[in-house]
Amino acid sequence: MMAKPNFVMIVTDQHCASWLSCAGHPVVRTPNIDRLAERGVRFREFHTASPVCMPNRASILTGRYPSVHGLKYNGCALSNDARTFVETLADAGYDTAAIGKSHLQPFTGIPAKRLKDKSPDGQDNEAWKHDFAGLDLECPVHYEPDERFQFPDSYYGFRHVDMVTGHGIECGGHYLQWLRKQTPEWKRLRDPNEQFGHNYSVPQACRTIMPEELYPTRYIENQTIDWLKQRKEQTDPFFLFVSFPDPHHPFNPPGKYWDRYQPEQFSLATPISAFRTLAPPLAFAHERFKAGGVADTPQEAFAATDRQCLEAMALSAGMLEMIDDAVGSIVDQLEFQGLSDNTVILFTSDHGDYMGDGNLLLKGPWLRQNLHHVPMIWSDPIGSRGETDVLGSSIDFAPTILGRAGVEPYFGLQGRDLLDDVANKGGRDSLLIEFNDNVPRLGLTKPARTRTVYRKDGRLTVFAGEGYGELYDSGLDPSHLSNLWEDAASVDLKATLLEELSVLMAEAMDESPRSFYRA
Protein backbone atom coordinates (compact mmCIF):
# COMPACT_ATOMS: atom_id res chain seq x y z
CA MET A 1 0.00 0.00 0.00
CA MET A 2 1.40 3.41 -1.00
CA ALA A 3 2.29 5.66 1.94
CA LYS A 4 0.18 8.76 2.46
CA PRO A 5 1.80 11.78 0.83
CA ASN A 6 3.51 14.55 2.74
CA PHE A 7 2.60 18.16 1.97
CA VAL A 8 4.64 21.35 2.08
CA MET A 9 2.48 24.41 1.42
CA ILE A 10 4.46 27.59 0.73
CA VAL A 11 2.57 30.89 0.91
CA THR A 12 3.82 34.36 0.08
CA ASP A 13 2.10 37.60 1.08
CA GLN A 14 0.75 40.17 -1.38
CA HIS A 15 2.17 38.52 -4.49
CA CYS A 16 0.59 38.93 -7.95
CA ALA A 17 0.15 35.84 -10.14
CA SER A 18 2.22 37.32 -12.98
CA TRP A 19 5.21 37.95 -10.74
CA LEU A 20 7.01 34.69 -11.50
CA SER A 21 9.39 34.05 -14.36
CA CYS A 22 7.50 30.82 -15.12
CA ALA A 23 4.37 32.97 -15.52
CA GLY A 24 6.14 35.04 -18.15
CA HIS A 25 7.31 38.02 -16.13
CA PRO A 26 10.03 39.68 -18.24
CA VAL A 27 12.16 40.88 -15.32
CA VAL A 28 11.55 38.93 -12.10
CA ARG A 29 13.81 35.90 -11.55
CA THR A 30 12.31 32.96 -9.65
CA PRO A 31 14.28 29.87 -10.75
CA ASN A 32 13.45 27.77 -7.67
CA ILE A 33 9.72 28.44 -7.80
CA ASP A 34 9.95 27.74 -11.53
CA ARG A 35 11.47 24.38 -10.64
CA LEU A 36 8.26 23.53 -8.78
CA ALA A 37 6.23 24.46 -11.84
CA GLU A 38 8.39 22.26 -14.05
CA ARG A 39 7.68 19.29 -11.76
CA GLY A 40 3.95 19.96 -11.44
CA VAL A 41 0.97 21.94 -12.64
CA ARG A 42 0.81 25.73 -12.75
CA PHE A 43 -2.73 27.07 -12.55
CA ARG A 44 -2.98 30.06 -14.86
CA GLU A 45 -6.43 30.98 -13.50
CA PHE A 46 -6.25 30.81 -9.72
CA HIS A 47 -7.99 33.43 -7.58
CA THR A 48 -8.66 34.43 -4.01
CA ALA A 49 -11.98 33.97 -2.25
CA SER A 50 -11.27 37.46 -0.90
CA PRO A 51 -8.28 39.68 -1.81
CA VAL A 52 -7.50 40.48 1.84
CA CYS A 53 -4.99 38.79 4.19
CA MET A 54 -7.02 37.38 7.07
CA PRO A 55 -10.27 36.46 5.28
CA ASN A 56 -8.48 34.65 2.48
CA ARG A 57 -6.07 32.82 4.78
CA ALA A 58 -9.08 31.56 6.70
CA SER A 59 -10.69 30.50 3.41
CA ILE A 60 -7.55 28.58 2.49
CA LEU A 61 -7.68 26.60 5.74
CA THR A 62 -11.44 26.09 5.98
CA GLY A 63 -12.42 25.68 2.33
CA ARG A 64 -15.24 28.18 2.92
CA TYR A 65 -16.08 31.75 1.97
CA PRO A 66 -15.44 34.60 4.45
CA SER A 67 -19.17 35.27 4.74
CA VAL A 68 -19.50 31.68 5.98
CA HIS A 69 -16.38 30.99 8.08
CA GLY A 70 -16.84 34.33 9.86
CA LEU A 71 -13.45 36.01 9.47
CA LYS A 72 -14.94 38.56 7.12
CA TYR A 73 -12.36 41.33 7.29
CA ASN A 74 -9.00 42.10 8.87
CA GLY A 75 -9.08 42.52 12.62
CA CYS A 76 -11.45 39.63 13.30
CA ALA A 77 -10.32 36.13 14.26
CA LEU A 78 -11.16 32.69 12.96
CA SER A 79 -13.40 31.05 15.54
CA ASN A 80 -12.01 28.12 17.48
CA ASP A 81 -15.18 26.31 16.41
CA ALA A 82 -14.21 26.51 12.73
CA ARG A 83 -12.99 23.22 11.28
CA THR A 84 -9.88 23.34 9.10
CA PHE A 85 -8.46 20.78 6.73
CA VAL A 86 -5.28 20.83 8.82
CA GLU A 87 -7.23 19.65 11.86
CA THR A 88 -8.78 16.92 9.72
CA LEU A 89 -5.34 15.80 8.53
CA ALA A 90 -4.08 15.77 12.13
CA ASP A 91 -7.01 13.59 13.18
CA ALA A 92 -6.06 11.21 10.36
CA GLY A 93 -2.52 10.79 11.71
CA TYR A 94 -0.65 13.63 10.04
CA ASP A 95 2.06 15.57 11.85
CA THR A 96 1.17 19.22 11.29
CA ALA A 97 3.27 22.37 11.59
CA ALA A 98 3.01 26.07 10.73
CA ILE A 99 6.18 28.14 10.36
CA GLY A 100 5.92 31.84 9.56
CA LYS A 101 2.91 34.09 9.15
CA SER A 102 -0.46 32.66 10.16
CA HIS A 103 -2.67 35.78 10.52
CA LEU A 104 -5.77 33.88 11.54
CA GLN A 105 -5.97 36.20 14.54
CA PRO A 106 -5.08 39.91 14.92
CA PHE A 107 -1.39 40.50 15.55
CA THR A 108 -1.17 44.24 16.29
CA GLY A 109 -2.77 44.47 19.72
CA ILE A 110 -4.21 47.85 18.63
CA PRO A 111 -7.92 48.32 19.42
CA ALA A 112 -10.09 48.52 16.31
CA LYS A 113 -11.68 51.77 15.18
CA ARG A 114 -15.42 51.29 15.69
CA LEU A 115 -18.07 53.01 13.63
CA LYS A 116 -20.60 52.64 16.44
CA ASP A 117 -20.19 53.02 20.17
CA LYS A 118 -20.58 50.13 22.55
CA SER A 119 -23.96 49.50 24.10
CA PRO A 120 -24.90 51.64 27.15
CA ASP A 121 -23.85 49.01 29.67
CA GLY A 122 -20.32 48.99 28.26
CA GLN A 123 -20.58 45.57 26.67
CA ASP A 124 -20.49 44.87 22.96
CA ASN A 125 -24.02 44.40 21.73
CA GLU A 126 -23.52 41.61 19.19
CA ALA A 127 -26.04 39.35 17.46
CA TRP A 128 -23.82 36.34 18.22
CA LYS A 129 -22.49 35.43 21.63
CA HIS A 130 -18.77 35.01 21.11
CA ASP A 131 -16.19 33.40 23.34
CA PHE A 132 -13.04 35.39 22.59
CA ALA A 133 -10.80 33.24 24.80
CA GLY A 134 -7.74 32.08 22.89
CA LEU A 135 -8.28 34.42 19.95
CA ASP A 136 -5.41 36.78 20.77
CA LEU A 137 -2.51 34.32 20.53
CA GLU A 138 -0.78 36.28 17.77
CA CYS A 139 -0.86 39.58 19.73
CA PRO A 140 2.45 41.16 20.87
CA VAL A 141 1.78 40.75 24.60
CA HIS A 142 2.52 37.02 24.42
CA TYR A 143 5.99 37.57 22.95
CA GLU A 144 7.27 40.23 25.35
CA PRO A 145 8.85 37.74 27.81
CA ASP A 146 12.17 36.12 26.94
CA GLU A 147 10.78 32.63 27.45
CA ARG A 148 9.38 31.24 24.21
CA PHE A 149 5.59 31.52 24.08
CA GLN A 150 3.93 28.11 24.01
CA PHE A 151 0.89 27.59 21.81
CA PRO A 152 -1.94 25.22 22.73
CA ASP A 153 -1.60 21.59 21.67
CA SER A 154 -3.50 22.41 18.50
CA TYR A 155 -3.78 25.80 16.79
CA TYR A 156 -6.46 25.37 14.12
CA GLY A 157 -5.04 21.88 13.66
CA PHE A 158 -1.33 22.76 13.79
CA ARG A 159 0.53 20.76 16.45
CA HIS A 160 3.73 22.80 16.05
CA VAL A 161 3.66 26.59 15.61
CA ASP A 162 6.61 28.89 14.96
CA MET A 163 4.86 32.24 14.70
CA VAL A 164 5.99 35.27 12.70
CA THR A 165 3.66 38.26 12.88
CA GLY A 166 3.77 41.57 11.03
CA HIS A 167 5.85 42.43 7.99
CA GLY A 168 9.38 43.30 7.00
CA ILE A 169 11.91 44.36 9.61
CA GLU A 170 9.16 44.95 12.18
CA CYS A 171 8.01 41.31 12.33
CA GLY A 172 7.14 39.94 15.76
CA GLY A 173 6.05 36.68 17.33
CA HIS A 174 8.52 33.86 17.97
CA TYR A 175 10.81 35.51 15.45
CA LEU A 176 11.14 38.58 17.67
CA GLN A 177 11.80 36.43 20.73
CA TRP A 178 14.58 34.76 18.74
CA LEU A 179 15.97 38.05 17.38
CA ARG A 180 16.33 39.53 20.87
CA LYS A 181 18.65 36.66 21.76
CA GLN A 182 20.81 37.10 18.66
CA THR A 183 22.03 40.67 19.19
CA PRO A 184 21.77 43.51 21.70
CA GLU A 185 21.24 45.76 18.66
CA TRP A 186 17.84 44.23 17.88
CA LYS A 187 15.87 47.44 18.53
CA ARG A 188 18.08 49.48 16.23
CA LEU A 189 17.91 46.84 13.50
CA ARG A 190 14.10 47.02 13.54
CA ASP A 191 13.94 50.82 13.48
CA PRO A 192 12.93 52.08 10.00
CA ASN A 193 14.63 55.38 10.78
CA GLU A 194 17.95 53.55 11.09
CA GLN A 195 18.73 52.76 7.46
CA PHE A 196 21.39 53.09 4.80
CA GLY A 197 21.12 56.06 2.48
CA HIS A 198 19.19 55.73 -0.79
CA ASN A 199 17.42 57.91 -3.35
CA TYR A 200 14.06 56.14 -3.47
CA SER A 201 10.99 58.29 -2.82
CA VAL A 202 8.21 55.67 -2.73
CA PRO A 203 6.51 55.65 0.70
CA GLN A 204 7.61 52.80 2.98
CA ALA A 205 10.90 52.23 1.15
CA CYS A 206 13.55 51.37 3.74
CA ARG A 207 17.13 50.33 3.03
CA THR A 208 17.34 48.39 6.24
CA ILE A 209 20.50 47.80 8.23
CA MET A 210 19.08 44.40 9.22
CA PRO A 211 21.58 41.71 8.07
CA GLU A 212 20.21 39.07 5.73
CA GLU A 213 20.87 36.32 8.27
CA LEU A 214 18.58 38.02 10.81
CA TYR A 215 15.79 38.98 8.42
CA PRO A 216 12.42 37.16 8.82
CA THR A 217 12.63 35.39 5.45
CA ARG A 218 15.92 33.77 6.42
CA TYR A 219 14.55 32.88 9.86
CA ILE A 220 11.57 31.08 8.31
CA GLU A 221 13.84 29.30 5.84
CA ASN A 222 16.14 28.05 8.61
CA GLN A 223 13.33 27.08 10.98
CA THR A 224 11.70 25.10 8.19
CA ILE A 225 14.87 23.22 7.40
CA ASP A 226 15.44 22.49 11.10
CA TRP A 227 11.89 21.13 11.41
CA LEU A 228 12.42 18.86 8.41
CA LYS A 229 15.70 17.60 9.86
CA GLN A 230 13.96 16.69 13.12
CA ARG A 231 11.61 14.43 11.16
CA LYS A 232 14.42 12.25 9.88
CA GLU A 233 13.49 9.21 11.97
CA GLN A 234 9.71 9.75 11.93
CA THR A 235 7.33 7.76 9.75
CA ASP A 236 4.02 9.63 10.10
CA PRO A 237 3.06 11.72 7.07
CA PHE A 238 3.25 15.48 7.57
CA PHE A 239 1.62 18.71 6.49
CA LEU A 240 3.97 21.69 6.76
CA PHE A 241 2.67 25.24 6.21
CA VAL A 242 5.49 27.68 5.40
CA SER A 243 4.34 31.30 5.14
CA PHE A 244 6.57 34.25 4.28
CA PRO A 245 5.44 37.80 5.24
CA ASP A 246 7.10 39.20 2.07
CA PRO A 247 6.91 40.65 -0.57
CA HIS A 248 4.24 42.62 1.34
CA HIS A 249 5.23 46.23 2.08
CA PRO A 250 7.22 47.89 3.65
CA PHE A 251 9.63 47.78 0.74
CA ASN A 252 12.76 46.74 2.63
CA PRO A 253 14.77 43.94 0.98
CA PRO A 254 17.90 43.42 3.10
CA GLY A 255 21.53 43.29 2.06
CA LYS A 256 22.27 42.29 -1.52
CA TYR A 257 18.57 41.97 -2.31
CA TRP A 258 18.11 45.77 -2.15
CA ASP A 259 19.71 46.41 -5.53
CA ARG A 260 19.11 43.12 -7.32
CA TYR A 261 16.71 45.09 -9.53
CA GLN A 262 16.52 48.66 -10.74
CA PRO A 263 13.33 50.69 -11.34
CA GLU A 264 14.35 51.26 -14.96
CA GLN A 265 13.92 47.53 -15.66
CA PHE A 266 10.17 47.73 -15.05
CA SER A 267 7.26 49.42 -16.80
CA LEU A 268 3.66 50.33 -16.01
CA ALA A 269 1.30 48.18 -18.07
CA THR A 270 -1.84 50.08 -17.03
CA PRO A 271 -1.01 53.59 -15.75
CA ILE A 272 -3.82 55.96 -14.76
CA SER A 273 -3.68 57.51 -18.25
CA ALA A 274 -4.70 54.18 -19.84
CA PHE A 275 -8.13 54.05 -18.16
CA ARG A 276 -11.05 55.17 -20.27
CA THR A 277 -13.33 55.26 -17.22
CA LEU A 278 -12.22 55.93 -13.65
CA ALA A 279 -13.85 53.93 -10.88
CA PRO A 280 -14.69 56.20 -7.91
CA PRO A 281 -12.05 54.59 -5.59
CA LEU A 282 -9.36 55.13 -8.25
CA ALA A 283 -10.45 58.72 -8.82
CA PHE A 284 -10.53 59.36 -5.05
CA ALA A 285 -6.99 58.03 -4.55
CA HIS A 286 -5.61 60.33 -7.26
CA GLU A 287 -7.53 63.36 -6.09
CA ARG A 288 -6.17 62.82 -2.60
CA PHE A 289 -2.67 62.44 -4.02
CA LYS A 290 -2.91 65.66 -6.05
CA ALA A 291 -4.14 67.53 -2.96
CA GLY A 292 -1.13 66.33 -0.96
CA GLY A 293 -3.15 63.97 1.22
CA VAL A 294 -1.94 60.61 2.48
CA ALA A 295 -3.57 57.29 3.30
CA ASP A 296 -5.16 56.93 6.73
CA THR A 297 -2.93 53.94 7.65
CA PRO A 298 0.23 52.31 6.23
CA GLN A 299 -1.99 49.44 5.03
CA GLU A 300 -4.33 51.51 2.86
CA ALA A 301 -3.82 51.78 -0.90
CA PHE A 302 -2.45 55.05 -2.23
CA ALA A 303 -1.72 56.72 -5.55
CA ALA A 304 1.90 57.25 -6.58
CA THR A 305 3.99 58.70 -9.38
CA ASP A 306 5.24 56.50 -12.21
CA ARG A 307 8.71 56.56 -10.69
CA GLN A 308 7.47 55.57 -7.24
CA CYS A 309 5.54 52.63 -8.69
CA LEU A 310 8.66 51.45 -10.53
CA GLU A 311 10.67 51.75 -7.32
CA ALA A 312 8.11 49.65 -5.47
CA MET A 313 8.35 47.03 -8.22
CA ALA A 314 12.14 46.85 -8.00
CA LEU A 315 12.15 46.50 -4.21
CA SER A 316 9.30 43.97 -4.20
CA ALA A 317 11.20 41.89 -6.75
CA GLY A 318 14.23 41.91 -4.44
CA MET A 319 12.14 40.62 -1.53
CA LEU A 320 10.64 37.97 -3.81
CA GLU A 321 14.06 36.84 -4.97
CA MET A 322 15.06 36.26 -1.34
CA ILE A 323 11.96 34.09 -0.93
CA ASP A 324 12.88 32.20 -4.09
CA ASP A 325 16.31 31.44 -2.62
CA ALA A 326 14.59 30.14 0.53
CA VAL A 327 12.29 27.93 -1.55
CA GLY A 328 15.37 26.46 -3.22
CA SER A 329 16.89 25.60 0.17
CA ILE A 330 13.68 23.94 1.36
CA VAL A 331 13.32 21.86 -1.81
CA ASP A 332 16.98 20.85 -1.60
CA GLN A 333 16.47 19.70 2.00
CA LEU A 334 13.50 17.56 1.01
CA GLU A 335 15.61 15.94 -1.68
CA PHE A 336 18.58 15.45 0.66
CA GLN A 337 16.38 13.63 3.18
CA GLY A 338 14.82 11.44 0.52
CA LEU A 339 11.37 12.97 1.05
CA SER A 340 10.76 14.51 -2.35
CA ASP A 341 9.45 11.30 -3.94
CA ASN A 342 6.44 11.34 -1.61
CA THR A 343 5.94 15.06 -0.94
CA VAL A 344 3.45 17.35 -2.65
CA ILE A 345 4.68 20.96 -2.71
CA LEU A 346 2.13 23.74 -3.14
CA PHE A 347 2.98 27.35 -3.84
CA THR A 348 0.50 30.24 -3.62
CA SER A 349 -0.15 33.67 -2.10
CA ASP A 350 -2.89 35.12 0.09
CA HIS A 351 -3.64 38.00 -2.34
CA GLY A 352 -1.93 40.42 -4.70
CA ASP A 353 -1.05 44.12 -4.90
CA TYR A 354 -2.12 46.89 -7.28
CA MET A 355 1.60 47.20 -8.02
CA GLY A 356 1.26 50.23 -10.27
CA ASP A 357 -2.13 49.31 -11.77
CA GLY A 358 -3.78 52.71 -12.20
CA ASN A 359 -0.70 54.13 -10.45
CA LEU A 360 -1.88 52.58 -7.17
CA LEU A 361 0.11 50.57 -4.64
CA LEU A 362 -0.96 48.08 -1.94
CA LYS A 363 -4.58 46.82 -1.88
CA GLY A 364 -8.10 48.09 -1.35
CA PRO A 365 -11.80 47.81 -2.21
CA TRP A 366 -11.34 48.60 -5.91
CA LEU A 367 -11.13 45.08 -7.32
CA ARG A 368 -8.48 44.35 -9.93
CA GLN A 369 -6.92 41.15 -11.25
CA ASN A 370 -3.63 42.17 -9.65
CA LEU A 371 -5.40 41.75 -6.29
CA HIS A 372 -7.37 38.54 -6.71
CA HIS A 373 -5.31 36.62 -9.31
CA VAL A 374 -2.55 34.81 -7.41
CA PRO A 375 0.08 32.13 -8.11
CA MET A 376 -0.83 28.48 -7.64
CA ILE A 377 1.55 25.61 -8.34
CA TRP A 378 0.78 22.00 -7.44
CA SER A 379 4.04 20.05 -7.63
CA ASP A 380 3.23 16.37 -7.16
CA PRO A 381 5.71 13.50 -7.68
CA ILE A 382 2.96 11.35 -9.23
CA GLY A 383 0.76 14.06 -10.69
CA SER A 384 0.28 15.87 -13.96
CA ARG A 385 2.77 18.26 -15.51
CA GLY A 386 2.33 21.49 -17.42
CA GLU A 387 -0.16 24.35 -17.18
CA THR A 388 -3.93 24.47 -16.89
CA ASP A 389 -6.71 27.00 -17.34
CA VAL A 390 -8.95 25.24 -14.79
CA LEU A 391 -10.59 28.02 -12.78
CA GLY A 392 -9.49 27.70 -9.14
CA SER A 393 -10.23 29.48 -5.86
CA SER A 394 -8.67 29.57 -2.41
CA ILE A 395 -11.64 27.54 -1.12
CA ASP A 396 -10.39 24.64 -3.27
CA PHE A 397 -7.25 23.92 -1.25
CA ALA A 398 -9.10 22.06 1.50
CA PRO A 399 -10.99 19.54 -0.68
CA THR A 400 -8.03 19.09 -3.03
CA ILE A 401 -5.49 18.38 -0.27
CA LEU A 402 -7.86 16.10 1.65
CA GLY A 403 -8.65 14.24 -1.56
CA ARG A 404 -4.96 13.74 -2.38
CA ALA A 405 -4.34 12.54 1.19
CA GLY A 406 -7.18 10.05 0.95
CA VAL A 407 -8.92 11.65 3.94
CA GLU A 408 -12.72 12.01 4.09
CA PRO A 409 -13.69 15.69 3.65
CA TYR A 410 -15.94 17.31 6.23
CA PHE A 411 -19.48 18.47 5.52
CA GLY A 412 -19.83 22.12 4.57
CA LEU A 413 -16.81 22.49 2.28
CA GLN A 414 -17.56 24.95 -0.50
CA GLY A 415 -14.61 24.30 -2.80
CA ARG A 416 -13.82 21.74 -5.48
CA ASP A 417 -11.18 19.03 -5.86
CA LEU A 418 -8.96 20.68 -8.47
CA LEU A 419 -7.14 17.45 -9.26
CA ASP A 420 -10.43 15.98 -10.45
CA ASP A 421 -11.06 19.08 -12.55
CA VAL A 422 -7.60 18.85 -14.13
CA ALA A 423 -7.92 15.12 -14.80
CA ASN A 424 -11.39 15.48 -16.29
CA LYS A 425 -10.64 18.74 -18.11
CA GLY A 426 -13.70 20.22 -16.44
CA GLY A 427 -14.41 22.55 -13.57
CA ARG A 428 -16.45 25.66 -12.91
CA ASP A 429 -17.23 28.39 -15.41
CA SER A 430 -17.26 31.23 -12.88
CA LEU A 431 -16.35 31.97 -9.30
CA LEU A 432 -17.37 34.27 -6.49
CA ILE A 433 -15.02 36.80 -4.90
CA GLU A 434 -16.02 38.60 -1.69
CA PHE A 435 -14.63 41.82 -0.27
CA ASN A 436 -15.69 43.18 3.12
CA ASP A 437 -14.13 45.95 5.18
CA ASN A 438 -14.60 47.29 8.69
CA VAL A 439 -14.13 51.00 7.86
CA PRO A 440 -14.73 53.09 4.71
CA ARG A 441 -11.66 53.41 2.48
CA LEU A 442 -10.77 55.10 -0.80
CA GLY A 443 -13.74 57.45 -0.66
CA LEU A 444 -16.47 54.86 -0.10
CA THR A 445 -19.39 56.13 1.96
CA LYS A 446 -19.38 53.06 4.23
CA PRO A 447 -17.31 49.92 4.81
CA ALA A 448 -17.04 48.04 1.54
CA ARG A 449 -19.41 45.19 0.81
CA THR A 450 -18.61 44.04 -2.70
CA ARG A 451 -19.39 40.82 -4.54
CA THR A 452 -17.80 39.82 -7.81
CA VAL A 453 -18.54 37.17 -10.38
CA TYR A 454 -15.37 36.37 -12.31
CA ARG A 455 -15.23 34.49 -15.58
CA LYS A 456 -12.31 34.12 -17.98
CA ASP A 457 -14.29 36.21 -20.47
CA GLY A 458 -15.59 38.90 -18.13
CA ARG A 459 -16.14 40.33 -14.68
CA LEU A 460 -18.95 42.07 -12.82
CA THR A 461 -18.59 43.71 -9.41
CA VAL A 462 -21.40 45.13 -7.26
CA PHE A 463 -20.58 47.76 -4.61
CA ALA A 464 -23.44 47.50 -2.10
CA GLY A 465 -24.94 50.88 -1.25
CA GLU A 466 -22.57 52.93 -3.40
CA GLY A 467 -24.81 53.33 -6.44
CA TYR A 468 -22.38 51.97 -9.02
CA GLY A 469 -20.70 48.82 -10.19
CA GLU A 470 -18.20 47.53 -12.72
CA LEU A 471 -18.63 45.39 -15.82
CA TYR A 472 -15.90 44.29 -18.21
CA ASP A 473 -15.70 42.22 -21.37
CA SER A 474 -12.31 40.51 -21.16
CA GLY A 475 -12.34 39.53 -24.83
CA LEU A 476 -12.58 43.13 -25.99
CA ASP A 477 -10.83 44.70 -22.99
CA PRO A 478 -8.41 42.23 -21.35
CA SER A 479 -6.93 44.87 -19.03
CA HIS A 480 -10.39 46.03 -17.85
CA LEU A 481 -9.86 49.68 -18.72
CA SER A 482 -13.38 50.57 -19.88
CA ASN A 483 -16.24 50.05 -17.43
CA LEU A 484 -19.41 48.94 -19.27
CA TRP A 485 -21.76 49.18 -16.26
CA GLU A 486 -23.72 52.08 -17.79
CA ASP A 487 -23.18 51.02 -21.42
CA ALA A 488 -26.56 50.51 -23.13
CA ALA A 489 -25.03 48.08 -25.62
CA SER A 490 -23.86 45.80 -22.79
CA VAL A 491 -27.19 45.25 -21.01
CA ASP A 492 -27.36 41.60 -22.06
CA LEU A 493 -23.88 40.88 -20.70
CA LYS A 494 -24.74 42.75 -17.50
CA ALA A 495 -27.98 40.80 -17.03
CA THR A 496 -26.23 37.48 -17.63
CA LEU A 497 -23.50 38.16 -15.08
CA LEU A 498 -25.90 39.62 -12.52
CA GLU A 499 -27.95 36.42 -12.72
CA GLU A 500 -24.80 34.34 -12.42
CA LEU A 501 -23.68 36.35 -9.39
CA SER A 502 -27.08 35.81 -7.76
CA VAL A 503 -26.78 32.06 -8.24
CA LEU A 504 -23.23 31.97 -6.83
CA MET A 505 -24.28 33.96 -3.77
CA ALA A 506 -27.28 31.68 -3.21
CA GLU A 507 -25.08 28.59 -3.48
CA ALA A 508 -22.64 30.07 -0.96
CA MET A 509 -25.06 29.48 1.90
CA ASP A 510 -23.55 27.61 4.84
CA GLU A 511 -24.84 24.04 4.64
CA SER A 512 -23.36 23.09 8.02
CA PRO A 513 -24.59 21.82 10.39
CA ARG A 514 -26.85 19.14 8.98
CA SER A 515 -30.31 18.79 10.42
CA PHE A 516 -30.36 16.19 13.22
CA TYR A 517 -34.11 15.54 13.37
CA ARG A 518 -36.95 15.80 10.94
CA ALA A 519 -39.07 18.83 11.65
Decide if 171 contacts 164 (C-beta within 8 A): yes
What are the φ/ψ torsions at residue 407 (nearest 5 degrees)? Answer: -110, 135
Give me the CATH topology for the region 6-110+133-270+302-424.
Alkaline Phosphatase, subunit A (3.40.720)
Decide if 270 contacts 316 (C-beta within 8 A): no
Task: Using the predicted structure, report yes or no on whether residue 35 has a pLDDT greater than 50.
Answer: yes
Tens digits of residue pLDDT in 101-126: 999 999 988 887 665 555 444 456 77
361's enclosing H/E stretch is strand 360-361
d(CA 17, CA 36): 15
d(CA 261, CA 253): 11
What pLDDT is recorded for position 120? 47
Tens digits of residue pLDDT in 271-287: 999 999 899 999 999 99
The burial class, CB within 10 Å (0-12 / 13-18 / 19+), for 54 is: buried
Q: Which residue ranges make up each domain of the chain?
A: 6-110+133-270+302-424
* Residue range 345-350: mean pLDDT, rounded: 98
Q: Of 468, 363, 373, 375, whose CA–CA distance to 73 is shortest?
A: 363
- Return the minimum-mean-pLDDT range out of 186-190, 230-234, 470-474, 502-506: 230-234
Task: Using the predicted structure, report yes or no on whether residue 300 has a pLDDT greater than 50.
Answer: yes
Task: Using the predicted structure, report yes or no on whether residue 363 has a pLDDT greater than 80.
Answer: yes
Decide if 74 contacts 481 (C-beta within 8 A): no
Task: Using the predicted structure, report yes or no on whether residue 430 has a pLDDT greater than 90.
Answer: yes
What pLDDT is recorded for position 128? 81
Tens digits of residue pLDDT in 474-517: 999 999 999 999 999 999 999 999 999 999 999 999 999 998 89
* Residue range 197-212: mean pLDDT, rounded: 98
